Amino acid sequence: MPVTTVGYNGNNVSRNKPLESGKITDDLYLSNYKKPVKETGNSMLGKDAFLKLLITQLQNQDPTNPMDDREFIAQMAQFSSLEQMQNMTKAMESLLLSQQQSQLMNYTTFIGKDVKWHELTEEKDTEGNFVVKEGNGIIQSVQFKDGEAIFTLADGKTISAGNISGVLGN
């Protein structure tokens, strides 16, 4: 899975290339942005092939023993269901990608902020409870890795969004 990183250098968000005046370059897109691609017709081949096969089957059937209506209707229903599931899968993938990009943009507001964090450790106290480690630090960068936002603090420590318990100061 691609990793998208937004870094903090003083007051500027870092980019790989300088912005050329008047142009939006590829480096301004998130790394997991999919550029629009022209359809080659491969996805339509399945539909077309099915319909051609069905028409050929109907044209070449034995007139004394025609295809059963129920069989024909069942084939059409299966094809329609498959097509709708494929469309829904594409829509869900697009929605997930859009949501991750939106979350990343929202999380960039944390860059440069001093945050309080906590995390559960494997250590146990005298009563047998897990020890909660706490601290604070300035967020240096944020990246999406395996569908989760990971924040890197100025001291190099990494935490997830669920570990942030507060924003200190500004």
Does 29 or 160 have the greater pLDDT score?
160
> For the whole model, what pTM was predicted?
0.48
Burial class (CB in 10 A: 0-12, 13-18, 19+), 134: exposed
Q: What is the mean pLDDT of residues 145-160?
A: 90
- On whether the CB atoms of residues 84 and 47 are closer than 8 A, the answer is no
Cα–Cα distance for residue pair 156/141, rounded to 1 Å: 10
Q: What is the pLDDT of residues 39-88, one digit of tens each?
A: 555 555 567 777 788 788 888 888 888 777 788 788 888 888 888 998 99
Neighbours of 29 (CB within 10 A): 13
Q: Following DSSP, what letter does each residue of 37-88 receive, concatenated?
A: ----SHHHHHHHHHHHHHHHHHHTS-TTSPPPHHHHHHHHHHHHHHHHHHHH
Helix or strand run (H / E) with residue 92: helix 69-107
Q: Domain extents for the chain?
A: 1-34+94-170
Burial class (CB in 10 A: 0-12, 13-18, 19+), 166: exposed
Amino acid 11: pLDDT:
41
Percentage with pLDDT > 70 across the chain: 72
Q: What is the pLDDT of residues 108-126, one digit of tens each?
A: 889 999 999 999 888 888 8
